[in-house]
Amino acid sequence: MEIDPNAARPKTSTRDREHLEQRLNTWIRGKLGPDARLSGFSSPQGTGMSSETLLFDVAWRESGAERTLACVARLPPDAGSVPVFPEYDLAKQFQVMQLARERCDAPVPRVLWYEGDESHLGAPFFVMERAFGEAPPDIPPYVFDSWLLRADATDRDRLQHNAIEVLAKLHAIGLSDSDRALLRPRHDGATALRRHVASQRAYYEWVTADGIRSPLIERAFDWMEHDWPRDEGAEVLSWGDARIGNMLFADFAPTAVLDWEMVATGPRELDLAWMIFIHHFFQDFTPLVGVPGLPDMMRLDAVADAYEKLSGHRPRDMEFYTLYAALRHGIVMFRIGRRQAYFGEAAIPADPDDMIPHRPAIEAMMDGSYWNTRR
C-alpha cells in the first residue's frame, strides 16, 4: 500500500458533532450549575486517528464571580469508526495522567472530571484543562511542511532536547505496587518487556482475526526472540505513544503531554525508541514529495547521549527497541489498512504486507542496514 502524501485524512469518527455539543453542554450544566455555558466547540484535525478530542470553553458563576475555563474532552472512538485498538480504558488514562502530574513536573494537563456513565455522550469520557501550544502535525507530516520544518537548527535541537527531558522525567516517577497493577498490560510474562510484547502479540491476533495475516510482522516477532536484550533494566512508567506529535510546544518548550491510551510499564527504551522511530517513519517518505525533511533530528546516538545526560541511564539495545517500535507501528498500520478498506479509501492489496507502508524499514532493521546512515 503506497503512501499518497496528498491523500485526504482517513475517516476518524462517525459521531454527529452537533449532537455531541448539545449533550456535553447538558452534562457541563450538571457539573457547574444551570447557568454554565459551553462555547467554542470544535474537534481538531491533523494528529491521531484513535480517541476523539473535543475542544470547548465553559463559563459559569461561582461565589458571585464569573469564571471561565478552556477544556478538552477525550472519549473513545465509536464502534462505527472501526477503532484502531480493541479497548480504550478512559478511567485508566485519567488516573495515569493524575498520577504523572502529581509526581513529576512534566507538563501533563490537569484532569478535571471522569464520567463513566455512557448515557451522556454514548461512551465514557474525561475532561481536562486545555493547554495551549502547537503540535508538530501528522497530516501532512511535519517533515513535509510545518512550523518545525521552518525553524532554525538551534530551535529544533532545543525542542528535541526538551522532548527527551519529558521522557526522563516520566521515567523517574517512583511506582508503587498498586501503580504497577494499574499500568501493566494484562498479559503473562516474567518481565515487564515480556508482558509488553505479549500484549502486542495479543493485539496482532485481534487485528488478524479476519484471517489476513502479515508474514513480515511474524518474522519481526521471531527476530526479536533471537535478539532479546540480556539486561532489560528497570520497569518504569512508559507513556506509550511517546512522540513529539503528541506534545504541544510554545517557543519550542513543551506545554502539554497528550494521548495516554498506550500507557504501560516497561524498559525506558520503549519510549525512546518509539520517539525516534516515528520521526524516521515520516522522514523516510520525504523523497516522495521532493523535500529534505529533517534528517538531522532524532538520530539514534544523539538521542541516547541526551537521555544519558538527563537521566544518568545509558540506553541499551536501541536497534532491538527501534525494531520493536517499527513492529508495533506495523500492527497499527495493518489495522488502519482494514479501516481504509472499510470506508472505501483503499483496497486490501494482494500482498497483505503492502498495508505496512514502512515495510522496507522493518526489513532493513532485521538485516541490520537501516541505522547505517541514521545514527
Residues annotated catalytic, as ranges: 241
DSSP string, 9-46: PPP---S-HHHHHHHHHHHHHHHH-TT-EEEEEE---S
| β-bridge mates for residue 128, sequence order | 72, 111
- Cα 199 to Cα 69: distance, rounded to the nearest angstrom: 38
Question: What is the largest distance, in Å, between two alpha-carbon atoms of the chain?
Answer: 68
Q: Which three cell numbers stand for residue 14?
A: 462517525
Q: CA-based Rg of the chain, rounded to a whole angstrom? A: 21
User: Which letter does DSSP use for residue 353 in this model?
Assistant: G
Find where cell 469508526 sits.
Answer: 81
Residue 230 CB coordination number (10 Å): 6
DSSP string, 269-307: HHHHHHHHHHHHHHHTTHHHHT----TTSS-HHHHHHHH
| β-bridge mates for residue 236, sequence order | 266
Residue 222 CB coordination number (10 Å): 11
Find where cell 459559569 sits.
Answer: 60
Would you say the C-alpha torsion 259, 119, 129, 237 has a positive or negative sign? negative
Q: Which three cell numbers stand for residue 282?
A: 515520516
210 residue type, one letter: D
Question: Is the backbone of residue 45 left (phi > 0), alpha (psi -120 to 50) or beta?
Answer: beta
Phi, psi dihedrals of residue 241, rounded to the nearest 5°: -95, 60
Would you say the C-alpha torsion 339, 340, 346, 349 has a positive or negative sign? negative
231 residue type, one letter: D
